[in-house]
Amino acid sequence: MRYISHEDFGRLLHDLERDYQVYVPCRKNIHRYYRPYAGLTDDVVIGEVRAFEPLKAFFFRARQKVAEGFSPDVVHGEDRPVCIVGAKACDLKAFAILDHVFRGHDYADPYYARAREANLIISADCTYAIDTCFCLALNVDPYPREAFDINLSPLDDGFLVETGSQKGTAIVAGRAALFADAGEQRTRDRNETRRHVIHAVQKNIEQNRIPHQDALEGAVARNYEAEIWADEAQTCVECGACNTICPTCHCFLLYDQKGKAHIERFRIWDACLLKDFARVAGGANPRPKLWMRLRNRFEKKFDFFPKVAGMYACTGCGRCISACPAKIDIRRILKRLVNHA
């Protein structure tokens, strides 16, 4: 295990800027957002909890030009790859779902695949939990175990450093002077922080009586015709925030618009809560009622995905709870699904 001081970590990021556009999480009021790195200023928070926006935004862009003038050639920009610092375990777990969708079949999405290959992830342990965190219920620990290049465990005087890929190992090996042996005490301190955060998430789960994912098997199918959906959808304003903020939601829409020289095709995020999501030419809609679309969201995450990919398409990040203006709480719905006979 290696250790890096705050000062040397700043040097590392400065060095990585030659090859990457570096993004760091910053605190603004009660939330954290990614912004381009401009030194380790006081608002940079590596540790704490997940950022407000999901990591998918760096890999599956909210709006991406995918074709020009009906040419089959893939349109790639000249941008340098991205280095994301401070990514959390719940977002890294979402890669399993996005990988299944975008590169798990005959055709790999060229934009997503390229970003996954070229981008660098320097993740970080959570150092506390907020009341919407329930990752452990979905078998996600509040510290990264996989899908990172380098992981940081924040300590008072720097970070404990683990590498998780050849790319990460090469970066650490190539800048050996910045790193030192972590020593036993720092590893004990890290383990103590991890225990503390696990305890906080467990407390959230117990207090809110959130079911563990093992209890969710078959719960959506059993409640397919239940009143739960119409009841929960009563306050929904159909904004789609729960979809766009979710690190695992991945549906998209293609549209064409006139560019300067050609017709251009764009891919944008779509949201299954929106009425037009499944509407087809001629106007027919398989899910005309809002409660059907709410049910579809849960069906996809907790019934379809376990069947086709062997995993739940939820990481317990709690973003949809914070984002929903109607206070529709995924934890309450999961509880109702499990408890309803």
Provide the binding-site residues for ligand SF4, judged by CB under 6 A: 236-242, 245-248, 273, 314-320, 323-326, 328, 330
DSSP state of 1: -
- Contacts of residue 304, defined as CB under 8 A and 6 or more positions apart, other chains included, come to 313
Q: Which is nearer to ligand SF4, 160 or 246 (CB)?
A: 246
Q: Say if CB 23 and CB 82 are below 8 A apart.
A: yes
Q: Which is nearer to ligand SF4, 143 or 179 (CB)?
A: 143
- Cα 281 to chain centroid, rounded: 33
CB of 209 to ligand SF4, least distance (A): 16
Spatial strand order in the sheet of 63-68: 63-68, 263-269, 252-258
Closest by CA position to 34, among listed 52, 7, 15: 52
CB of 94 to ligand SF4, least distance (A): 7
What Å distances lie between residue 336 and 31, 173, 219, 226, 320, CA to CA?
Answer: 29, 51, 9, 10, 17
Q: Which is nearer to ligand SF4, 54 or 168 (CB)?
A: 54
Q: Which is nearer to ligand SF4, 50 or 265 (CB)?
A: 50
CB of 97 to ligand SF4, least distance (A): 9
Q: Which is nearer to ligand SF4, 55 or 328 (CB)?
A: 328
CB of 69 to ligand SF4, least distance (A): 36
Q: Which amino acid is at 147?
A: A
CB of 320 to ligand SF4, least distance (A): 3
Closest by CA position to 75, among listed 83, 63, 84: 63
